[in-house]
Amino acid sequence: MKHLRLPVVLVAGTLVLSACAGVGNKSDSGGSDGQASADSTPSGTLKVMGLGGEDEVGLARMTAFKTAFPGVTVQNNKGDFDAQQFLTAVSSGNPPDAVYMGRNLIGTYAAKGAIQPLDDCIKNSGIDTTQYREAAMNEVKLKDKIYGIPEFYTVSTNLISETALKSAGVPVSDIQTTDWDKLEATAKQLYKAKNGRPARIGYDPKMPDFFPLWAMANGAEIIKPDGSPNLNDPKAVEALQFTIKLINAQGGWSNFKTFRDTFDLFGEKNQFTKDQLAAFPIENWYVNVLRDARANGLKLQSTPFTDRQGQPISTIGGSAWVIPKGAKNPNAACQWAKTLTAKETWLKAAEARMQTVAKDKSFFTGLFTGNKQADEEIKAKYLKPSGDAGFDAAIKNYYDVLDKAKSLNPSAAGAEIDAAWKSAVGKALAGSATPQAALDQAQSEAKTAFDKASQG
Amino acid sequence: MATTVERPAARGQVEPARRRPPKRSPLAKREDRAGWLFVSPWVLGFLIFTAGPMIASLVLSFTDYQMIQTPRVVGLDNYRELFDDPRVLKSLSNTFVYAAMFVPLGTIFALALAMMLQRVGKAGGFFRTAFYLPEMTPAVAAAAMFLLLLNGQQGLVNKVLGWFGINGPNWTADPNWLKPSLAAVSLWTVGGTVIIYLAALNGVPKQLYEAAELDGAGPVTRFFRITVPMISGALFFTVITHTIASMQMFDQAYTMFYGPQQKATASDESLVYMVYLFQNAFQFFKMGFASAMAWLLFVIIMAITFLQVRIGNRYVYYHGER
């Protein structure tokens, strides 16, 4: 044993040093060195992370990039964004070059220095940021710096089963979110129970995920423009109280969630065709999913989700391309983000989608790119009456709310704020705490995290 | 071999024996080297993948480390914060409750299966494989499957309970049933324990049962007076390993309630310690705090294990000690 002591000490010491080196040897500048210059042509290997599914829209855009930049070898690590994978890659000094992540994450990652500001990339590559929707751009900014190039734009509207409404004698116009008392009465009218458990939900407010939307509908911003949390705003508390009341009128949270978990959301025999749900607000991608369910008797209707003054509103969702700190090929990453989100590329993607639509003998339900010019041209060129008035109304509602939709303000403590309100809403729904108490605690936790994050 | 040279002590004097280092033969030295060579992959693996990260995490637990910037020393701040954060206590108590449910339940369930296996005769090989196979299923897949099985309205578990007139709970939605449902999911993986118990049961001498039977002992007496004491070593080992595994439970809880498919958490009632540790490390960039959480858990596990060993030593019977 004696003769092994020195090597063991050396190995252990090396490990400690290397472990410490591994966490501390990176530059803190977070600069944008090497981002595309005006006349540079990218080459080499481009490592992409977070781009999961490759449907015809994704493939067409990747092809557009490969055609434009044949000197770049794209290595796509297929799979959705994984925080652990990403952070360890950045921390170890071997990050990918372009990462596709939800825009709601950008504030946190930017504040921690995990991703680079893209102002030089935008300037040198001549990316016209005015082409992107303002709300999407707002989500990728922190302290006046731009950290992501946005793509896709999800908004919400009410989708309705006409069959359910007819069976309960409820007119489509009664599915509205302006008059909350009336909405509760309508939900009760549409709700069906069997053996004390829900058999059909009348109106699903999509809690807890849609809490920010309900708060917005009641006039509250749960994240203030400076990024600080505003979770216990009286209007947000009131919104949570109402949605809980709505759920309690339809079996109570435990039964409600249990029943909702049985929905085959993506199947042809989904909650509408099986008469398990009358109406709910949902994002625009879902109308594309529902198209195939028409063969099983789906009769779709739609109304806009409005605030309490009757104005259509929506929160937005979507992703963005970011360049991590220490990316080896930021020049190619910048061109990648530019190319994949450019109007011309989206038009090619729409063309690919139309080929799929023609092959499937279905119809086009819209493409919501986050690029305003692309959206308008695609809509003008490809969106035609489908022959199904309900689907047409739903698609129209989604397009109508695009310019009215608002983003949640980005925050340096975005992840903590997100976790805090989700936990609070979960507790309030489960009855473990009152909405006021749950959101008060969430506000306190989120504020602590925000103060700490703001101090750097 | 070792030799000791002793000189005769003078009357009334006790002279301590002086020992010289044993002279080792070339063969013994070669064997030593071969031994170290054989274990070196494990030793290296331990140093690189266990001891190294452990030391690093201990160092990091005294820092504010956000994974990107250089760690900043903050002394005991992270440890102080452990006691100020209500979710640390909540996740810890959830974990204790889960462990308190799973460890006895898993032990009893595995022992019952092992005793059944012992009696099936020729079909034993098939059932051993069948019981062990779930152990090979990825925890994420098992958790996803149990989300369907445990659905309060349409899940198979409640349907079966319904045949007996039992109105099953909302396992995955009712906050009171979240931890029991996690414990139920974990029962899926007791196959390894069943095999250990089966080996232990097969090691109990048959004569003991025959003698007890002649003395008029019934099955319950035989079980508690012979079986349990004779396999107490195996029981003790699995209770300790189950306890440690329960305190570190992550996969099932994360997949069922916090994974990418679950956009929002069900309730803090399902927040187990390791999930909260993961959130702090990789979602909130609080790697220093997460390291402190890891060390707190390490200390707790050590304390529990120490207590178990102290108690267990009084009751555990080892064949080799006789």
| Partner-chain contact B175 A12, CB within 8 Å | no
Phi-psi region of B259 (alpha: psi -120 to 50; beta: other; left: phi over 0): beta
Q: In this structure, what token pair is assigned to residue B180?
A: 């029991």
Is there a contact between A64 and A336 (Cβ–Cβ < 8 Å)? no
| Partner-chain contact B172 A261, CB within 8 Å | yes
Percent of chain B's residues with pLDDT above 70: 91
Q: Which residue has the higher pLDDT, B68 or B193?
A: B193
Strands A300-303 and A156-161: antiparallel
Which chain B residues are within 8 Å of A416, Cβ to Cβ? 284
Q: In this structure, what token pair is assigned to residue B274?
A: 């390791």
| Partner-chain contact B153 A24, CB within 8 Å | no
Domain A7-154+318-350 has CATH 3.30.70.100: no
Which residues pair with residue B288 across a beta bridge? none
Structural domain boundaries of chain A?
A: 7-154+318-350, 156-314+409-455
CB contact B70 to A (< 8 Å): yes
CB contact A92 to B (< 8 Å): no
Q: Which pLDDT score is estimated for A6?
A: 37
Does this complex have an ipTM over 0.95? no
B85-313 has which CATH code? Answer: 1.10.3720.10
Question: Can you tell me the distance from the alpha carbon of B44 to that of A233, in angstroms, rounded to the nearest whole number?
Answer: 55
CB contact A257 to B (< 8 Å): yes
The torsion defined by the Cα of B160, B166, B172 and B175, in degrees rounded to 10, comes to -170
CB contact B13 to A (< 8 Å): no
CB contact B265 to A (< 8 Å): yes
What's the mean pLDDT in B124-131? 83
| Partner-chain contact B69 A114, CB within 8 Å | no
CB contact A87 to B (< 8 Å): yes
Nearest to A453 by CA among A53, A208, A110: A110
List chain A residues with pLDDT less than 50: 1-33, 38
Assign B90 a pLDDT band (cuts: 50, 70, 90): very high
CB contact B207 to A (< 8 Å): no
CB contact A23 to B (< 8 Å): yes
| Partner-chain contact B174 A254, CB within 8 Å | yes
Q: Which pLDDT score is estimated for A435?
A: 97
Of B52, B55, B173, the CB nearest to A257: B173
With 0-12 / 13-18 / 19 or more C-beta atoms within 10 angstroms meaning exposed / middle / buried, residue B263 is exposed
Cβ contacts below 8 Å, chain A against chain B, sum to 139
Structural domain boundaries of chain B?
A: 85-313
Phi-psi region of A326 (alpha: psi -120 to 50; beta: other; left: phi over 0): left
In SS3 terms, A336-363 reads as HHHHHCCHHHHHHHHHHHHHHHHHHCCC
Nearest to A315 by CA among A52, A138, A83: A138
Of B53, B172, B264, the CB nearest to A422: B264
Q: Which pLDDT score is estimated for B132?
A: 86
Shortest Cα distance, chain A CAs vs residue B150, angstroms: 10
Max Cα–Cα distance, chain B, nearest Å = 91
- Tell how many helices (H) and how many strands (E) occur in chain A: 18, 12
| Partner-chain contact B285 A422, CB within 8 Å | no
Name, in order, each residue with C-beta under 8 angstroms of A88's C-beta and a sequence gap of 6 or more.
none
Q: What is the mean pLDDT of chain B?
A: 88
**Topology of the domain comprising A156-314+409-455:** D-Maltodextrin-Binding Protein; domain 2 (3.40.190)
| Chain centre to alpha carbon of residue A367 | 15
pLDDT, tens digit, 9 for 90 and up, residues B266-303: 678 889 999 999 999 988 889 999 999 999 999 999 99
Q: Which pLDDT score is estimated for A283?
A: 96
Q: Which pLDDT score is estimated for B2?
A: 42
CB contact B289 to A (< 8 Å): no
Question: In chain B, whose CA is at the least distance from the CA of A14?
Answer: B52
Q: Which pLDDT score is estimated for A16?
A: 36
Q: Which pLDDT score is estimated for A69?
A: 94
Lowest mean pLDDT among A449-453, B9-13, B128-132, B213-217: B9-13
CB contact A114 to B (< 8 Å): yes
Question: Can you tell me the distance from the alpha carbon of A60 to that of A352, in angstroms, rounded to the nearest whole number?
Answer: 7
pLDDT, tens digit, 9 for 90 and up, residues B186-200: 999 899 999 999 999
